[in-house]
Amino acid sequence: MNDLGVIFQKSVLDNGLVVVSEAVPYLKSIALSVFVKVGSRDENEDPPGVSHFMEHLFFKGTTRRSCADIAQEIDAIGGLFDAFTSKEYTGFFIKVLDEHLETAVDLLWDILLRPLFAEEHVTGERSVIIDEIRMVDDNPEEVVHEQFNEAFYGNHPLARPILGTRESVGAMRRDDVLRYYGRFYKPDRFVIAAAGNVEHDRLLALLAVQASRQPLTGVSVRMVVAPPVAHFGTLTRQRDLEQIHFTLGFPAPQQDDPDRFPAHLLTSILGGTMSSRLFQIVREEHGLVYSIYASRAAFHDTGYLSICAGCAPEVLGQVLSLTADIIADLKRDGVEEAELERCKQQFRGSFLLGQESSSARMTSIAQQEIYFGRRLPPEETLQEVAAVTLQQVQDLANRVLRSEQLCGVFLGPLDESCSALAELRL
């Protein structure tokens, strides 16, 4: 692709903070973020859920702004302000018109460098987050996904739910938050990313003004945790539901693995789109499910490919049998040229449409900095996807989709259908 007029720049400040920007002059917006390289997998010696708990507290007020002030200030400029917690990083982002960049920088710096973490806010957020956990517990699709992570990664921190548990959140103390903040919220873990109608030098100047008022110093604690080891087998959980929900997972390439693009296309062919094999055969041809799909999760040292579905108990055996046949056919006969080309074009279209969004560009350059330490030019990504061969996809399918490295989790009324689990042979 010809990314005319787009200029990428990167600066590493003396304190270790990384600033990346992608100037897209034909946009009117700027998406600005701070990605902090700490997430739930870093809670090795801390209460489960503290990363996410802190994400909530940052919006409760600073030494300069109340919670209401933060909300009113972003609304007054027509901006969007949000945050999220993942397994490996926590993100805070604002999207504004380009004329409001200075305000956006000031808001982000303020909430991250001057948080109150007040005792009353800690007390209040306990009940809010426990209610969020209850909401997840009411969604069997999310429950089975969390149970799959626990089964697949065992005792490793990656197995833990990002939200924590009702018990860990209910026992969260202000001291836990302050200790975690002091250990990890240091400049060497910060990536500031901006995309849109932004000038890199102006962004650096605005950050320098903020740092002169409230410096960001120190070095974060480096955790030494053994790489995760995948666990295999079948786990069943009884629950009074109308459907049986299941996740079948297999070890798959990590974020920076050379096979990440064949893995993406394999996932797409298997169940990543409406034209995928699982969707067309299990849903469209046989009408056995409303939802069935494949997805891929990738971290810096591990990953998995999963198949998720929900079905009536009486058809579980058929759904599993069809799934096994689809996988066996893919491994034995490979992928058709037209099928692979369709998935490549689907990737290309989705990727290029994302380039029209300042938010998508911002997220992309931040994640690339975290996992690769550099920007991956769009043309490089498209060329690598276009170069994936039929043989690469089939070889990966044969390495990944194997019965002996399957982890399956089933949730629902399983009393009369447990025998169907034995029917899945790949």
Q: Where in the chain is the domain with CATH 3.30.830.10?
A: 7-213, 233-423
Average pLDDT of the residues in 328-356:
96
Residue 90 pLDDT > 70:
yes
Say how many C-beta atoms besides its own lie within 10 A of residue 314's C-beta. 11
pLDDT band at 418 (very low <50, low <70, confident <90, very high): low
Strands 244-251 and 190-196: unpaired
Work out the percent of the chain whose per-residue pLDDT is above 90: 94
Does the annotation mark 142 as catalytic?
no
pLDDT band at 419 (very low <50, low <70, confident <90, very high): low
Q: Compute the distance between CA of residue 408 and CA of residue 150 in angstroms, rounded to an integer.
A: 11
Average pLDDT of the residues in 39-53:
95
CA dihedral 206, 208, 209, 211 (to 10 degrees): 130
Catalytic residue (one of 22, 43, 55, 146): 55
Residue 274 pLDDT > 70:
yes
Q: If we measure between CA atoms, which residue out of 166, 204, 41, 185 comes closest to residue 117?
A: 185
Residue 44 pLDDT > 90:
no
Residue 416 pLDDT > 90:
no
Instruction: Return the CATH class of domain 233-423.
Output: alpha beta
Are 382 and 351 contacting, i.e. CB atoms less than 8 angstroms apart?
Answer: yes
- Give the per-residue pLDDT at 421: 61
Residue 109 pLDDT > 70:
yes
Q: Compute the distance between CA of residue 268 and CA of residue 152 in angstroms, rounded to an integer.
A: 22
pLDDT band at 424 (very low <50, low <70, confident <90, very high): low
Residue 222 pLDDT > 90:
no
pLDDT digit string, tens, across residues 285-339: 999 999 999 999 999 999 999 999 999 999 999 999 999 999 999 999 999 999 9
CATH number of 7-213: 3.30.830.10
**CA distances (Å), 415 to each of 151, 244, 308, 412, 424, in order?**
21, 11, 20, 9, 18
Residue 4 pLDDT > 70:
no
Residue 385 pLDDT > 90:
yes
pTM: 0.94
Residue 2 pLDDT > 70:
no
Burial of 173 (0-12, 13-18, 19+ CB in 10 A): middle
- Give the per-residue pLDDT at 254: 97
pLDDT band at 395 (very low <50, low <70, confident <90, very high): very high
Both tokens of 136, joined, read 């997840």
Residue 1 pLDDT > 60:
no
Q: If we measure between CA atoms, which residue out of 145, 161, 150 comes closest to residue 309?
A: 145
